[in-house]
């Protein structure tokens, strides 16, 4: 159990560092600036996905929840979107128009962290079906 949780934490930390450092270097190389904090948005995506994976690992030990894990996972993207809107309403959603670079720098970490999250969730769900 502890080994699995450490794997989740290390995976999300490594992905966070790769994404953030890549974004910084690309933006600096092309002299592009974004009007919101990349650190904060990337950290939100990393932590929210990590929390979901940890919760599902704990949920997988509850026998009555095991058959329902897939259905429990469905609303997490919606909840994550609402939390993102609430937390970044003043910095991201108050901007009139997002540039292409700003859109890509929001979408890329969202997709990558979501991919890692889904990978771990699928492993949890398939392990419980056997």
pLDDT digits (tens, 9 = 90+) for 39-64: 999 999 999 999 999 999 999 999 99
> Number of folded domains in the chain?
1
Task: Report how far residue 73's alpha carbon sits from residue 118's, in angstroms, rounded to the nearest whole number.
Answer: 9
Predicted confidence at residue 37, as pLDDT, reads 94
The pLDDT value recorded for residue 91 is 87
Residue 129 has pLDDT above 70, yes or no: no
**pLDDT on residue 127:** 85
Q: In whole angstroms, what is the distance from residue 20 CA to residue 126 CA?
A: 31
pLDDT digit string, tens, across residues 93-118: 888 898 999 999 999 999 999 999 99
4-13, 52-61, 66-75: segment of lowest average pLDDT? 66-75
5: burial class by Cβ within 10 Å (0-12, 13-18, 19+)? Answer: middle
Task: Note the pLDDT of residue 95.
Answer: 85
SS3 content of the chain, % helix, strand, coil (to 5): 75, 0, 25
pTM for the full predicted model: 0.92
Range of the domain at 116: 2-129
Please check whether residue 20 is in contact with residue 39, taking contact to mean a CB–CB distance below 8 angstroms: yes
Confidence band, pLDDT 50/70/90 cuts, at residue 130: low
């Amino acid at each position: 159990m502890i080994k699995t949780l450490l794997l989740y934490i290390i995976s999300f930390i490594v992905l966070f560092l790769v994404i953030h450092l890549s974004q910084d270097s690309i933006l600096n190389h092309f002299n592009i600036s974004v009007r919101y904090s990349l650190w904060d948005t990337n950290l939100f995506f990393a932590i929210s996905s990590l929390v979901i994976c940890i919760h599902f690992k704990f949920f997988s030990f509850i026998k009555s929840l095991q058959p329902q894990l897939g259905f429990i996972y469905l609303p997490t993207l919606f909840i994550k979107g609402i939390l993102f809107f609430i937390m970044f309403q003043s910095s991201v959603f108050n901007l009139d128009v997002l540039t292409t670079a700003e859109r890509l720098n929001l979408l890329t970490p969202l997709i990558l962290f979501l991919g890692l999250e889904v990978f771990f969730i699928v492993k949890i769900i398939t392990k419980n079906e056997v």
